[in-house]
Structure 1
Amino acid sequence: METLETVHSGTKRHKKIRRHSTSLDIHAQSMRRPPEGDSIIEKAPMKLGPPPVPTGPKKKVNENKSVAAMKRRKRRTNMSSDSGLETAEDDANVKRSRSDTKSDFLTSLGPLNDISSIHPVLDCTMESTFSKKSKSKLDVTWEKAVCNARGQPDGAERSMRMAKSSAKNPESCAIIEENDENVIPVESEDEANGMVDEEEEEDNEMVEVKKMEKVEKKKKSLKDKVQGAVKKMKKLKEGKATTGKLKKGVLKRKIADVMGSSPDGGGLKKAKKSEKESKEEKKDFKKLRNNYDLIQNSKKIWEELRKHDVTVDRKTKLCAELLDMSKGKMQLLAFTHDGARVIQCLIQHGNMEQRAVAFDEMKNNMVAMSESKYAKFIVRKFLTYGSKMERSLVFKSLCGHVRRLIRHREASEIIEYAYNEYANATQRLAFLEEFYGPTFTLLKTDDAKSLEDVLNLHPKKKDMILANMKETLVPLIEKNILTHSIIHRLFYEYFLHADSKARSEMISELRETVVNMVHSRDGARVAMKCIWHGNTKDRKAILKSFKGFVLKMSKEEYGHQVLLSIFDVVDDTKLVSKIILEELLKTLKEVAMDTYGRKVLLYLLSPRDPMHFHPDVVKVMQEGDTNEFSKKDTNVRHDELLDVVSKPLLKIVIDNTKELVSDNNSLLFLLTILSHAKGDTTKALEAVAEICAEKMNNSSLGDLHIVEHPAGHITLKKLIAMDKEKMKNKESVLFSNVLMNTVPESVLKSWAACNRGCFILLALLELGNPEVTAQLLPTLATMKKSLKMLKFKGAQLLHDNILYNTKDD
């Protein structure tokens, strides 16, 4: 008890006693009894809030409780109120008298084994974890001893938070203990009275100090970032391998980005440089590269060598200088942007000897050059301008790597260029054999020229070859590498020799990406086979993939044949109309004026007509007739598609009659529309007759009238000849009747003045239409003498016909 009384004697004695409180802590921990009352674990679950107010008589609290503790309690009250915690008990505790607290504290202390009964164990809350650390520098060793002696109840939420916080910050546990409400700080009244002003001043100072520390930290971080950027720039300049990839202004951009996030909110404004400064910086940057002097000197020769007005002797001399300068260093120059340009010019303009020297230096590095962004063009130059031996060596160096290089973005262009432009049948097969299997990669066959020949030589290896091809081709579909013709050839060969099951599996893999293959002959054949042998689901997916590409396909040499195969076999004509025909009709004039686009429209009007389609094309189309998935009758399918396009085609004749009647390519197209389109053709025929009604010396077609035009007079003769079939079918609308009702009599007589006009009049008389003959013959009968005087063949035949028809008169 003496040690406890000396606590209040003075500050110095108070500190001395607290230095020896460690033994008391140990003794208190060993002699502590469990807290009185029920454990908090047995009660209701923990709630975030202050402990409940005890129902029994309240103990008086000492009035001499420090003002600092009261201030801390107010702070906790504000924090708890912000977080939704109740603060009724804290307000009550602040108003308790200091004298009662002091007396209760002295009387409540007993032996160390009863130290846990100083204060009742209350339900722990989150207030201690949220409270701020006290600004006072009090010695709290005795309070620590009391806390350690009392301990914490099992399962208390506070103990778990202390464990977590102590793991992160060892000082957090001490902070919680200092701010605990159950611990009464022991301090003198003088200290308590003088703490308010000191703490307020300390609070203001701490806020300003923290602000200054934040600003200094941000400044330091900015400096560190700038210094880091400078160091990286220096490392990049020192590194030889990466100097060629440096870009001007990297350092300044990094510094500007760093300073743009400064606390003041201001960033570096890029000053506009003059052209001279930028050129100087660019020149200094280029000097960091290897072989800078060599590249600069060679570029001077290159600038003169590539001019068109340089003589042959001068080119030979410049190439010799350039060869001497770059000899032994061509492989280094080939992989740079400007160095590759110089070597390309040397190969193109040099003679055979100079080209051979350059090839000998680079021939062992062709595969790596093919994979380079710049050196690949040198390989192209050797293929284009090289000798037969040099070209064969390029093919030989690429063989064995085709299967890998075809997947490379840069090298695949070289493989495609070599295969399409300069490879013969043997070299093409050498490229393709790498996809047949490892055996054919190592052992080339000279006798075979295609997969069919290989299978005839090795019939037992058919399954193995097709399995290897499938294993190679499926990844190409997944990577969407389907634009090269060598890939199209592989797919076409696979479809030719695979069975129906394997073919169906490949169609299901290829159906959404086959649109990338229709621009080549083999690729178009692959797309046609997918349409012929695909089921309804496959055909629907293929048609949907064509959406947006129909116009382009209709104007391609091989792509338009894919559309013809769709018209032949797809039973869902509504889907065809929605995806294919709808896109065609939006740009119908553009399609009609194109050579291959007209074939698509002609196939809709008159499919497989030998007048419009070559027999070989018809033979190819007949391969799809035996497919197992088309159930609708061919004529029914054709009629449904024709109903969709007839009206727009007749309208295009009305709107573009002059272009159609005066163009040899459009002549048959016009006749086919007027003969096969469904609907009323009267307006279209009247549009043609109105052009015929123009005067001979005032034609809208130019210098020649339609009856004298090479294509126009054939158009009129064909239309008149079509009336014979219409008369047999007893059709009411005839072009001859429309023509006679539209063209004036004076214009008809003027036609007899030219040879082609006489043949048109003769065709009208020979038609056998009673209405036309009765109207035309009296007009021509008055011209017998004039026709007899004309010497050209048409006039003589017309005169004889008139005499024959009027001799009875």
Structure 2
Amino acid sequence: MAAGIKRKQATDASKPSNGVEVKKAKVEGSKSFTKREFVEPAKKPSKRNEASELEELVESDTCEGEHGFYGFAAKENSENDTSVSEDSDLSESEKEVKDQKRDVNKAKVEKKTKTSGAKPTSLEGLNLSTSKEAHAKQKALSKERKAAKPNADEIARSKKLWERLRLKSHVGLEERKKLVVELFDIVTGRVKDFVFKHDSVRVIQCALKYSNMEQRKMIATELKGEFRALAESRYAKFLIAKLLEKGDADIHEIIISEFYGHVRRLINHPEASWILDDTYRSMASPEQKAILLREWYGPEFSIFKTKTEGSVSSNLSKILEQSPEKRQPILNHLQGMINQLVQKKLTGFTMLHDAMLQYFLACKPGSSEASEFLEHLKPEAKEGEEQDSDLLKNLAFTKSGSRLVCLAIAHGSAKDRKLLLRAYKDTMELLALDANAHHVLLAALSIIDDTRLSSKSIFGELLPSDASAVTLHEKTISLVNNLEARTVLLYPFAASAKWLYPTNSPTLSLLAELHAIRATTSKKDPTIRLQELAKAISAPLLSTIAVGPSDFANSSFGCQFLTEVLLSAEGDKASALEAVADLAEGDPSGEAVHIAKSPAGCRLLKALVQGGRFDATTKKVVSVEPKLGFADMLWKRVSGWVKEWATGNGSFVIVGLIEADGFDAKDEVVAALRKMKDSLVVAAGDGAIKDEGEKKGKKRKGGMDDEKNKESKGNAGARILLQKLE
């Protein structure tokens, strides 16, 4: 009985009401009746081939366990047991009918085989084959189909080489070189036949990985004219990424030039859009970027190219200045392309962010175009659902996108700023750690008048109030030692300090642009805004400094953080200052780690001792109010080690003690220094010069005499202390 064919069930009418089965008496002449009953009508020849019958044979839409059938691979004993159990349920007449039917079918199969010589079909030879044989036939048929395809042998050979090459270990250098040479012998001249198949394209990627530049150019040359189609392929697009990664400028030009004129199609394609954007962001030159971005401005920029090299610009404002009559068509086309991607939720493209920034910069501030554009940036919130803020979050992490969000905050109203800032809820730490996204937080801190909103939204996530002391301490250390995140924490204390921002960073120029806009859109005084922000963040920072100042003093960033917070924070600083002063205890010249051995640590102590910041214009230290009183705290801890401090790396800390205003023990410091004047002379370098008096006046090759050279190698702080003692 074939799988999927249900066994006939006895009807309820054939059973008596009492449930007892009654055996029927054998009737003479039943033989002719049974023959007539099982005479099968003539059937039309089936058009299905043997393969389709095999598929029908293997698959079943019924439950085998339900109908008493357990597959072709069942043991012979189980088949016999099943047939016995089935026969036991039948009457003698039914058993005889069943045997006759089996004999008739067997005779038909034998007759057909003898007369025509044809093999029995799958259904006819059901009892002659097994499931394993059926699967083997299917597998053989699949191999035959693959072998009939073009370049089947070459693809099979190359895949075997690929299986060996992709092993990172167990393959020697010489063997790998031989495999690469053999692989290129196969694929050379057939690259196009390989790249559009999901399995063989991986062979080309492997060949690129171990190829030299000449071989890569050969592959790029063979694929010339096909890169747009490859970008739209589900698997071949990764080949373009690999070729761009491994290729040089010539290969980049071959690939990117085929994208010209097709940007609108590619950026909306589900596969090609990511390759196009990755190429634009990472591999394209400034001129290539400009050509690709100009196609967002209208069809004419796709059709007509600028012939003069080096003059291509994607600055939309300049283009509109040169052709003011094209303003409306260009803006309409650009807005349409932007809306297409935004509605499709494809808001992570760098090219999209650049286009959006160009559109906003081309609009006049306060115009209807600019207002409508800002409305589209606001997150949409439906009833019962969270607001959709994916666009704003993606914008924050690119250079153009972050600038666009900053300008939106600067030009927006108080309500707009609140909505924009709310979109970044639960992502403040990610923003603070990113090179571009931290600009959004700086813009919010410098522009939003509601400092309670900005401090709670930003500092409330960076330094949560419900966190434990240990967790808060660890988070603060990680933020302070990050190049971008520390600017967010220290902005309320050192907003205009140049040392706070990385060298060659666009942060200062961006803040200057935002401050110019702030003068017309914000009402609060900038100084008051910074004071309110500093007050909001002072308490958690002072508490975490008091817990473990040594963790901050281990790095230069940490020492700058301690200096700015302790000088500018509001609130009780006593415990934090005492904790920092404890770092100066002990012998600074010993082998143990000491703050005096760190140049940044010495600058920290000197600044706290002086109690203010040095003003370069007046050449004086401007003290903070109220007075810190750190000099008295420090003197209690270093009074027993004055000699080591004055003649070592921490000599300027002692200079700061002498120059500090309001320091009561200044005379004690001077008296201690007078007792060790000889040591100061030696440390300053004068003693070494006196021992070599005969060498005075002799010139060195560099034009500097020995006296000046010795002084330059001495302790500058010790020399200043000697001058103070005179």
- Per the normalisation by structure 2, the TM-score is 0.68
8 Å contact 2:477–2:552 — kept in the other structure?
no
What one-letter code is carried by the residue in structure 1 that aligns with 2:407?
A: K
Residue 382 (1) aligns with residue 304 (2): no
Distance in 1 of aligned mates of 2:601 and 2:357 = 44
CA distance in 1, matches of 2:50, 2:582: 79
Q: Report what 1:49 is aligned to.
A: none
Identity of aligned residues (%): 30
8 Å CA contact 1:560, 1:600 repeated in 2: yes
Q: Which residue number in structure 1 is paired with residue 657 of structure 2?
A: 764
Match of 2:600 among 711, 729, 752: 711
2:372 aligned partner: 505
Cα pair 1:723 1:736 within 8 Å, conserved: no
C-alpha change, 1:299 and 1:606, in structure 2 (3 Å) is: same
Determine helix, strand or coil for the equivalent of 2:268. Answer: coil
**CA RMSD in angstroms, aligned pairs only:** 4.1
Distance 1:602 1:495 in 2: 31
Give the drift of 1:346: 2.4
Following the alignment from structure 1 to structure 2, what is the Cα–Cα distance between the partners of residues 361 and 580?
54
User: Quick one: which amino acid aligns to residue 155 of structure 2?
Assistant: I
* Alpha-carbon distance change, 441 to 552 in structure 1, aligned in 2, over 3 angstroms: same
Q: Report whether the alignment pairs 1:459 with 2:324.
A: yes
SS of 1:594's partner is: coil
For 1:624 and 1:251, how far apart are their aligned partners in 2?
A: 75
Q: Cα–Cα, structure 1 residues 267 and 583, in superposed 2: closer, same or farther, change >3 Å?
A: farther
Aligned with 2:232 (options 371, 383, 388): 371
> Quick check: 1:331–1:362 contact (8 Å CA) kept in 2?
yes
Measured in 2, the distance between the counterparts of 1:236 and 1:771 equals 106
Matches within 5 A, 1:201-280: 259=63, 262=66
- Deviation track 1:75-103 (CA, whole Å, cap 9, x = no partner) reads xxxxxxxxxxxxxxxxxxxxxxxxxxxxx
Which of 320, 335, 341 is residue 196 of structure 2 equivalent to? Answer: 335
Instruction: State how 1:425-440 maps to structure 2 within 5 Å.
Output: 425-440=286-301
In 1, Cα distance between the equivalents of 2:161 and 2:557?
Answer: 52
Deviations 1:272-299 (A, max 9, x none): xxxx99x999997984645664333112
C-alpha displacement of 1:633:
3.3
Q: 1:294 aligned to 154, 179, 183, which one?
A: 154
Structure 2 CA distance for aligned equivalents of residues 236 and 635 of structure 1: 86
In structure 2, relative to structure 1, the CA distance for the partners of 1:258 and 1:764 (3 Å cut) is farther
Alignment of 1:302-317 (within 5 A): 302-305=162-165
Match of 2:420 among 542, 548, 555: 542
The 1-side partners of 2:247 and 2:218 are apart by: 12
1:747 pairs with one of 624, 627, 641: 641
Distance in 2 separating the partners of 1:484 and 1:515: 12
Structure 1 residue 577 corresponds to structure 2 residue 455: yes
Partner of 1:733: 628
2 CA distance for matches of 1:402 and 1:468?
A: 13
Amino acid at match of 1:756: N
1:386 & 1:536 partners in 2: Cα distance? 50
Q: Report the CA distance shift for 1:410/1:234 in structure 2 as closer, same or farther (over 3 A).
A: farther
TM-score normalized by the length of structure 1 = 0.61
Deviation (angstroms), 1:448: 2.9
**Alpha-carbon deviation of 1:313?**
8.5
Is the 8 Å Cα contact of residues 476 and 482 (structure 1) preserved in structure 2? yes
CA distance in 1 between counterparts of 2:444 and 2:57 reads 59
Q: CA deviation at 1:442?
A: 0.9
Query: Would the alpha carbon gap of residues 760 and 442 (structure 1) be closer, same or farther in structure 2, given more than 3 Å must change?
Result: same
Aligned to 1:409: 270
Q: CA deviation at 1:396?
A: 2.3
Letter in 1 for 2:675: T
Distance between the aligned counterparts of 1:321 and 1:608, measured in 2? 63
Q: Which runs of 5+ in 1 are unaligned?
A: 1-200, 209-230, 239-249, 805-809
| 2:182 alignment counterpart | 321
Match of 1:591 among 479, 495, 510: 479
- The structure-2 alpha-carbon separation of the partners of 1:439 and 1:261, relative to structure 1 and needing over 3 Å to count, comes to farther
CA contact (8 A) 1:518 1:558 kept: yes
Alpha carbons of structure 1 residues 654 and 472: separation in structure 2 relative to 1, 3 Å:
same
In the alignment, structure 2 segments of 5+ residues that lack a partner are: 1-11, 20-47, 75-131, 380-390, 465-474, 615-620, 686-713
Q: What secondary structure, in the 3-state scheme, does the structure 1 residue paired with 2:500 have?
A: coil
The residue number in structure 2 matching 1:624 is: 514
Q: 2 CA distance for matches of 1:598 and 1:283?
A: 63
Structure 1 pair 363/312, CA: closer, same or farther in 2 (3 Å)?
farther
Q: Is the 8 A contact 2:446 2:526 kept in 1?
A: yes
Q: Which amino acid is 1:644 matched to?
A: A
Q: Which residue of 2 aligns with 1:533?
A: 411
Is the radius of gyration larger for structure 1 or structure 2?
1
Distance 2:50 2:334 in 1: 49
Matched-pair contact (CA < 8 Å) for 1:316–1:351: no
* Residue aligned with 2:595, SS: coil
Q: Tell me the amino acid that sits aligned with residue 611 of structure 2.
A: M
SS in 1 for 2:200: helix
State which of 595, 602, 610 in structure 2 corresponds to 1:721: 610
Q: How does 1:38-187 map to 2 (within 5 A)?
A: none
Deviations 1:41-87 (A, max 9, x none): xxxxxxxxxxxxxxxxxxxxxxxxxxxxxxxxxxxxxxxxxxxxxxx
The answer to whether the 8 A contact 1:758-1:798 is kept is: no
Q: Relative to 1, partners in 2 of residues 1:260 and 1:488: Cα closer, same or farther, differing over 3 Å?
A: farther
- How far apart are the structure 2 equivalents of 1:521 and 1:718? 36
Deviation of residue 361 (structure 1)?
3.8
Q: Does the CA contact (< 8 Å) of 1:319 and 1:354 recur in 2? A: no
Distance in 1 between the 2:442 and 2:392 partners? 16
Deviation, 1:202, is 7.6
| More displaced 10-residue stretch of structure 1: 534-543 or 644-653 | 534-543
Structure 2 distance, partners of 1:580, 1:745, is: 43
TM-superposition CA deviations, 1:726-748 (whole Å, max 9, x none): 9956634311011123x053233
Whether 1:600 and 2:464 are equivalent positions in the alignment is no
Residue in 2 aligned with 1:173? Answer: none
SS at match of 1:694: coil
* 1:454–1:556 CA distance, 2 compared to 1 (3 A): same
Matched, 1:524 2:413: no
1:709, 1:251 → 2: CA distance? Answer: 83
In the aligned structure 2, how far is the partner of 1:321 from the partner of 1:236?
Answer: 43
Deviation at 1:750, TM superposition (A): 3.3
What does 1:677-688 align with in structure 2 at a 5 Å threshold? 677-688=569-580
| Aligned amino acid, residue 650 of structure 1 | L
Does the Cα contact within 8 Å between 1:674 and 1:681 map onto a contact in 2?
Answer: yes
Aligned partner of 2:340 in structure 1 is: 475
C-alpha distance in 2, partners of 1:395/1:236? 51
Q: Per the alignment, in what secondary structure is the counterpart of residue 338 of structure 1?
A: coil
Distance 1:206 1:649 in 2: 91
- Give the 3 Å change call, closer, same or farther, for CA 469–782 of structure 1 in structure 2: same
Instruction: Please name the residue that 1:781 is paired with.
Output: 674
Residues 194 and 200 in structure 2, CA contact (< 8 A), matched pair in contact too: yes
Contact 1:755–1:794 (Cα < 8 Å) also in 2 = no
Q: 2:577·2:630 contact (CA, 8 Å) conserved in 1? A: yes
| Aligned-partner Cα distance in 1 for 2:439–2:53 | 56
Q: Check if 1:793 corresponds to 2:660.
A: no
Contact between 1:784 and 1:799, CA under 8 Å: does it hold in 2?
A: no
Distance of 2:586 and 2:680 partners within structure 1: 22
Matched, 1:657 2:549: yes
* Cα deviation, residue 441, structure 1: 1.2
Instruction: Quote the Cα distance in structure 2 between the aligned partners of 1:668 and 1:232.
Output: 83
2:543 aligned counterpart, secondary structure: helix
Q: 1:507 to 1:392 in 2, by over 3 A?
A: same
Which region of structure 1 is more displaced relative to structure 2, 360-369 or 561-570? 360-369
Q: Within 1, Cα distance between the matches of 2:138 and 2:435?
A: 48
